[in-house]
Structure 1
């Protein structure tokens, strides 16, 4: 690969210089904190139910309130990110959600919990659309799948790390300490992030050679936010591919929210493990999610590098295959009794589901024009979490009514499989500025 300099000389374009991958690590850490602040509810739930006389439905309602708010706030979040820049919006968001996490530990009544979870959802909404925006600015199209897989794995690192760490804290200091500590961690993180992060065109640590490589591969710079795009925000909903992403992500997040809110309770009630054992067993399935996210991104990069598929087709193909596999595995979960098989199926399911979410977020950078990546990613996430917000309360009602989670997982698996249909048959054409 070659580029021309201003003096018209031709020199080889090297990928030497990997500072862009440092940016991914920061996004990964921020995402882990984001998910610790969600997963702490599922870890604290058994003690909260005992201490405050709450029900499964109450816990599910907290998850639903969070998800609805998180979903609705995706829409203005994407617009704000594209308009005012990733760093500014992200910094405000982290401070906001960290404060709400801390305040959760001070609540005593269901109404107060619902209010704080409402505000938490608003604060956490910009996190992943911001990551998608930053990724499109820092990475060539062929690398976005892998880069996205790394930072999207944070949504699995959080729940994986949460059980052993937070159960230990809860055993020593009580469930309220979970919310106090995770809230403080977020504030500390954002202070360092603000000092570190710069736009690609303003970064003093990024070499000219690496910047040229990024631009050659289709990466933009965040200066795009200051340009007037030809596409209006509302017109994004006229595109078939955007609707396919909305529907496909809904199918994925439906089962994802059930896992996030009820996996620990499922293990406690069906496998009869102790609270101490929960710290280990509840974390294992999320390791499968981490692997699926990163390996899925790596696989799409290899398919593109070898010329087997375009970046868009590689991601759509992976999503389709993993959607079918996740459906088969999730539906089978209620029919096994042993702890080993249950953990194995949960791990496989999260591996496939995570490969879908990672590729879906990377797909936003391929489908959307550079000026609208934050908006398209946020719209997709809105679809996922607005519809998927029903799943925690539905699962809770099923568990309270039938005394079993079986129907929740069977129906959730079928819905997850529908993601394959949406991403393969509806998501096809990228959005062009002149559309």
Structure 2
């Protein structure tokens, strides 16, 4: 039997005016954090050609830097999600943004491979709270029926960031050198961290939130009737839904990591695009992905409001279709000789992947209660990045050995399509919704 969560009503001052639809303005902080976060990750791809030329690095070295980040980022997810649920999104987000900005800026001081590995590892640790904290903010500020669309908004930062990064960072590269890229991003991040800490508050503490909107936010917030053992952090791993989220997100992150690390190099070396033109051309797939991700979130929201369709089922159905479509399209890209057509196909594939990432990050709020959203999201992200970490390293090794990116595209497409299997077979019900919890068989 589910019981309603008792929440205090926000204080309404006679002097301070409330802000209409404040929850959507609050979401802007998560969006900005995502944009800066992914600009930091994309920086290595923009700087790579000059780093290879000046420091005698190889494509395998660049791939290794991407893999080190992903592995450290993956393992850091586990404590990050737990800390967010314990300490709250405000404190953890501020600390994370400030520290990842410093870690990014340190790259400008590097000249040896071990230094770059150290700095990318630090970035992996400090960026770990980003997505789980955004999921926590969404769970606190939005009713369940709006979370898919809200998640699509903040998750679009992972597409706007890589879209904005190439033209801006390429201009900085050409004008001031590759080191200036990392200094610029470090300064931007520190400003964002300060702004977030000063202005962000939870719904219960925000003085500009109206009683009407507070009631809407709390409309369907309930605590699921789960036993203390099932509610513990370690016991989450007993449920097949958790393993389904991890496996599905692994398939998504594998292909996403490939493009984050190697798309500019692929365009320059396989397609003959100049460094200057790469700055704009590499942005196109991410711009399309950002828009399609938002559209996907809107479709899921509308679909979930149909009679007899749960929010979880709506997300699962859309994700299955998007995973199959993205897998087929990614496999086709290297076999299309025309640059324009290949970019169109790649952009649509990226859009399908963007729909999957936003839906995946909205799923934890459908599977567990609000208290464990960040923890489950972090576990999912751990699974995605632990396995997906191999993607850039393998792609770099293959490119150095064969001079081709085609095998990496085909492998990535197959893995992306396999996400459908995980979501169809394992992610079918919320934890605690069945009489007997679904447990992974030994």
Fold match (TM-score > 0.5)? yes
Cα deviations across residues 50-88 of structure 1 (Å, max 9, x unaligned)?
010100000000000000000000000011011111111
Aligned CA distance change for structure 1 residues 219 and 258 (closer, same or farther; 3 Å):
farther
Gaps of 5+ in 1: 1-5, 7-15, 221-227
Q: How does 1:190-339 map to 2 (within 5 A)?
A: 190-218=193-221, 231-307=231-307, 309-339=309-339
Residue of structure 1 aligned with 2:169, choices 162, 166, 169? 166
**Partner residue, 1:66:** 69
Say yes or no: does 1:395 pair with 2:395.
yes
> Do the aligned residues in 2 keep the contact of 1:74 with 1:125 (CA within 8 Å)?
yes
Q: Does residue 18 in structure 1 map to residue 21 in structure 2?
A: yes
- 1:373 maps to 373
Unmatched 5+ stretches in structure 2: 1-7, 9-18, 438-442
In the alignment, the residues of structure 2 paired with residue 426 and residue 230 of structure 1 have an alpha-carbon distance, to the nearest angstrom, of 18
Give the number of equivalent residue pairs. 414
- Provide closer, same or farther for how the CA distance between residues 230 and 202 of structure 1 changes in structure 2, counting only shifts above 3 A: farther
Q: Does the residue aligned with 2:52 lie in a helix, a strand or coil?
A: helix
CA contact (8 A) 1:140 1:219 kept: no
RMSD: 1.6
Secondary structure of residue in 1 paired with 2:231:
coil
1:54 paired with 2:41, answer: no
Aligned equivalent of 1:37: 40
- Spell out structure 1 runs of 4+ moving beyond 6 A: none
Partner residue of 1:104?
Answer: 107
Match of 2:12 in 1: none
Measured at CA, do residues 230 and 330 of structure 1 come closer, stay the same or move farther in structure 2, by a change above 3 Å? closer
Matched-pair contact (CA < 8 Å) for 1:86–1:133? yes
| More displaced stretch, 149-158 vs 424-433 | 424-433
Confirm or deny: 8 A CA contact 1:78 1:377 kept in the other structure. Answer: yes
The match for 2:15 is: none
CA distance in 2, matches of 1:377, 1:216: 22
TM-score normalised by the chain length of structure 2: 0.91
Distance 1:131 1:106 in 2: 31
1:171/1:47 Cα in 2 relative to 1: closer, same or farther (>3 Å)? same
Of 58, 83, 96 in structure 2, the residue corresponding to residue 80 of structure 1 is 83
